[in-house]
Homo-oligomer: A and B are copies of this chain.
Amino acid sequence: MNAPLPASRPAPLTAPRAGAAASRTDAARRIDASARLRGAGPLGDLADFPDWFAEHARRAYTRVERVGLDELDGWVSDPATGDLGHHTGRFFTVHGLAVEHPDAAVPRWTQPIILQPEIGVLGLLVSRIGGVLHALVQAKVEPGNANGLQISPTVQATRSNYTRVHQGRAVPYLEHFLDAHRRPGVLADVRQSEQGSWFYRKRNRNMVVELPEPIEAGEGYRWLTVGQIHELLGREDTVNMDSRTVLSCLPFTGPAPESDDDPDPFRRALRRSGDPAAGSLHTMEEILGWITHRRTGEDLATRRIPLDDLTGWTREKDRIRHEGGAFFEVIGVRVEAGGREVRQWSQPMIEPVGQGVIAFLARRVEGVLHVLVGARVEPGFTDEVELGPTVQCVPESYTGLPEGSLPPFLDVVLGAAPAAVRYDTVLSEEGGRFHRALNRYLVVEAPDGLDTTSPAHRWMTLHQLSDLLRHSHYVNVQARSLIACLHSLYHAG
């Protein structure tokens, strides 16, 4: 049972951790001081961003054509299993997974899943320019994106990429990340999971590396202030998933509470939430104990099976779909991507059946914003349970099921009064593997009196989530996106 949080009269916070704001390392502390600065840096104002972005959108494009799963150049269906793989054995494989989860509403099922065991690099180069933290971002097209061009991190490379299986050109700026352990300046370097419903134990290395001086931004790259990127997070489908997950691994705090004269108590509470000196409803020991309890209590078992042995799924010429029309399809695409050079390739992709809802309920507790995290079990997680959003689902997948089967708090999120909706933006998931995987990301203030007692949920502050994000496998990719999105609310809009 959860320690209940009285809805209208919050429990007192644990004693604020005096002096804890200073307990980060030097490097991170300096970020705390600079991240609140935003707007124009010496390398450009956000005002000319639309022109720069439009200019690249004209030159860079992808054309995506649906093709049969047996017509994908370079891809083969294993005759014994039906598994889809590249003839080189690299990139990724689509196979079947049998899941047993006795405690769940659906205690057993099978599904297709992507196996991509290589650990890639999602790397962001940052540098302080005039005391303001800047990051080197890329305008990148990916075939799955509805809005082709998005802001991506400096480097976004699978191991196949950088060992040149693609036989393309070298990955620009990659050397700064592969050599990072030899030098100071690593602000974050942690392996994090990706979609546990679609990937089997996929992990990417999320890295932020600081350079003493900015280096030249190549064609298609640009230095933006971190504040500018946060501002772009408020625009539909502009900042890609890889940027969001890397940014979530950086700790941020706003101005000291005593000098924070923002008239909006939500924004003040949000900034305090990032400050390790602020209190929290639960101690970190309680949170860690709860996670251990959830992880030892779940009897999840997964087993690889042949793609041909799925139950409840149909393989058609150009897709594998769920017989009930739920969840997602595996489709085949032929891609032409153009920019400075033109490349063509084919690949399978995953396309969800509907737009997902990914939301944090948020609540101010004694002036410190808390978000309601949910302990989620996803079959592809390396460690069975990770912390996710309050709500994470594709409502279409529940069509035809009894009313009570909808996830808890979905009704609260979708029925919230407009003033309670603090963030509401549609964003894409990773456009290299997922086709038109759009989710509606929301941050919603919980109504007074809402009972949030749930063994699978806990109220946490942003500084607690930041602490966990220094380590692998605690926070899932959807929650990491939401954490990045929360930063776009830091500044009076």
Question: Which A residues have a C-beta under 8 Å from some C-beta of B?
Answer: 1, 3, 14-15, 17-28, 119, 180-182, 184, 186-191, 205, 207, 276, 283-286, 288-290, 292-293, 295-296, 383, 470-472
- Would you call B15 and A26 a contact (CB within 8 A)? yes
B20 pairs with A22, CB closer than 8 A = yes
CB atoms of B285 and A28 under 8 A apart? yes
Q: Do A23 and B17 touch (CB < 8 A)? A: yes
**Chain B residues within 8 Å of A290, by CB:** 181
Are A289 and B186 in contact, with the CB atoms below 8 A? yes
Partner of A292 from B3, B14, B24, B191 at Cβ < 8 Å: B191
How many copies of this chain are found per oligomer?
2
With a cutoff of 8 Å between Cβ atoms, the chain B residues found around residue A190 in the complex are 288, 292
Judging by beta carbons under 8 Å apart, are A285 and B22 in contact? no
Q: Does the CB pair A25–B17 fall under 8 Å? A: yes
Closest to A3 in B: B182
Chain B residues, CB < 8 A from A296: 119, 191, 205
Using CB atoms, name the residue of chain B closest to A28. B285
Closest residue to A16 on the B side, CB-wise?
B22
A472 vs B288: C-alpha distance when bound (angstroms): 10
For A20, the chain B residues whose CB sits under 8 A away are 19-20, 22-23
Instruction: Return chain B residues, CB-CB under 8 Å to A28.
Output: 285
Contact B22 A182 (CB under 8 A): no
Within 8 Å by CB of A22, from B18, B207, B283, lies B18
What 14 new A-B contacts, CB under 8 Å, besides A20-B20, A28-B285, A186-B285? A1-B182, A14-B25, A17-B22, A17-B24, A17-B25, A20-B22, A25-B284, A25-B285, A27-B283, A187-B285, A189-B293, A207-B289, A288-B470, A288-B471
Nearest CB on B from A174, distance (A): 14
Shortest A476–chain B CB gap in Å is: 17
Of the A-B pairs whose beta carbons lie under 8 Å apart in the complex, a sample of 19, sorted by A's number, is A14-B25, A17-B22, A17-B23, A17-B24, A20-B20, A26-B283, A27-B283, A28-B285, A184-B283, A184-B286, A186-B285, A186-B289, A188-B285, A189-B292, A191-B295, A205-B292, A285-B470, A383-B472, A471-B471
Chain B residue numbers with a CB within 8 Å of A182 are: 1, 3
Is the beta-carbon distance between B288 and A23 smaller than 8 angstroms?
A: no
A356 → chain B closest CB, angstroms: 29
Find out whether the CB atom of B189 lies under 8 angstroms from the CB atom of A289: yes
Bound-state CA distance A184–B18 (Å) is 21
**Most chain B Cβ neighbours within 10 Å, of A25, A26, A119, A181:** A181
Q: With A290-B181, A293-B181 as known contacts, state yes or no: A276 contacts B23, CB within 8 Å.
A: yes
User: Shortest Cβ distance from A118 into chain B, in angstroms?
Assistant: 10
B contact residues around A14 at 8 Å (CB): 25-26
How near does chain B come to A454, taking the closest CB pair, in angstroms?
Answer: 13
* Also in contact, A25 and B189, with CB within 8 A (given A20-B20, A470-B288): no
Considering the complex, give the chain B residue whose CB is closest to the CB of A188.
B285
| Cβ contacts under 8 Å, A472 to chain B | 383
Quick check: B180 and A289 within 8 Å, CB to CB? yes
Expressed in whole angstroms, the minimum distance between the Cβ of A295 and any Cβ of chain B is 7
Min CB–CB distance A247 → chain B (angstroms): 16
User: Roughly how many angstroms separate A289 CA and B210 CA in the complex, as a whole number?
Assistant: 13
What's the Cα separation between A293 and B293 when bound, in Å? 29
| A1 to B383 alpha-carbon distance, docked (Å) | 30
Q: Which residues of B contact A289 (CB under 8 A)?
A: 180-181, 186, 189, 207
Taken together as a complex, chains A and B put the C-alpha atoms of A180 and B290 apart, in Å, by 9
CB-CB nearest 5 A-B residue pairs: A19-B19, A189-B289, A20-B23, A25-B283, A186-B289
* Residue pair A18, B15 in contact (C-beta under 8 Å): no
- With CB as the reference atom, state the residue of chain B lying closest to A118: B296
Q: Cα distance A66–B271 when bound, in Å? A: 65
* C-alpha gap A205/B289 in the complex (Å): 10
A207 to B293, CA, bound (A): 11
Contact B286–A186 (Cβ < 8 Å): yes
